[in-house]
Amino acid sequence: MRHPAVPESLDSWNILHRMFRFDRRAFDALAADRRHEIATEAVTNLAPLAASGDGDVGLAQLLGHKADLMVTHYAKSFDELGTAQIAFDKLAIRDYLEPTTSYVSILELGLYEATGKIHADLRDRGLKPHSPEWIAAFDAALDEQAKSPRNAGRLWAKIPQRRYVCFYPMDKKRGETVNWYMLPYDDRAAMMADHGKIGRSFHGLVSQVISGSIGFDDWEWGVDLYADEPLTFKRLIYEMRFDEASANYAGFGPFYTGMQFSIAELPHFLDGDAMPKLLVADLVAAHA
């Protein structure tokens, strides 16, 4: 039964973020041939995941003390995420990676505006809310949203291939005096429309992936931002601080920021002999 106050969403990739601290000194103490074996094994096993149409994997070197490496997995089911997690944990590299945190979520496209229009259309058609006819018509309308050119490409897009990445979890406040979920639907929809205008003003400068985590993890959403210039993150998030939906109703978790790099560059990350890069070949493939 769909509550009329609940905005619908379109959901796709199951996402697992894993943050690790890298024991670089222990790795450096290994013989050169053993370091090469470990790096080669990791690249050989991770590369097919990124090339698969059924998932993706991304690597990022993180800045600061919270973690050194972020591994992002995309899969079409929780079971496949579990398989990817086990496969990664079997790699020899895991002997030198200490987990610091993780995040489980599902990529979602919010439909505040569309949900309101669907409800109004069904009401105008005289359908009784939550009747079999109403539910069938609602499901058909959502299916049209999923197939629309605007949404279809975004739902199953791969991890954006841009150099810099910023990940953070967030909530909408639901305390005794300030509670997002008790606001009228139209008020929430209007605030989210204004919120979206800020994001669209950064079109071309940042790629944004919003994933829902209610019932899956400690926060309600995960946000991934990808850009070619890290200052974009500061400008976007700061501007959004002045938006009513954020200023009055948003709570934010820890931020993880760093540089995304190609799987083939993992040996450079492990050896520390050069900054691992996002290779041109991966950039070309992502935009092909």
How much is the pLDDT for 288? 47
Tokens 């090339």 belong to 51
Give CA–CA dist 190/275, Å, rounded: 44
Q: What percent of the chain has pLDDT over 90?
A: 70
Band (pLDDT 50/70/90 cuts) for residue 122 is confident
Q: What is the per-residue pLDDT across 270-279, written as a single tens digit (0 to 9) for each?
A: 999 999 999 9
Domains detected in the chain: 13-106+260-278 (3.30.70.1030)
278: left (phi over 0), alpha (psi -120 to 50) or beta: beta
The 3-class SS string of 111-157 reads EHHHHHHHHHHHHHCCCCCCCHHHHHHHHHHHHHHHHCHHHHHHHCC
Q: What is the per-residue pLDDT across 173-182, written as a single tens digit (0 to 9) for each?
A: 998 889 999 9
How much is the pLDDT for 71? 98
Q: What percent of the chain has pLDDT over 70?
A: 96
Give yes or no for residue 281 having a pLDDT over 70. no
**Residue 219, SS3?**
coil
Which of the residues are catalytic? Answer: 168
Integer angstrom CA distances of residue 267 from 29, 38, 44, 160, 217? 15, 9, 12, 22, 32
Residue of 45 and 138 predicted with greater confidence: 45
Can you give the pTM of this predicted structure? 0.90
Q: What is the per-residue pLDDT across 28-46, written as a single tens digit (0 to 9) for each?
A: 999 999 999 999 999 999 9
**Residue 196, SS3?**
helix
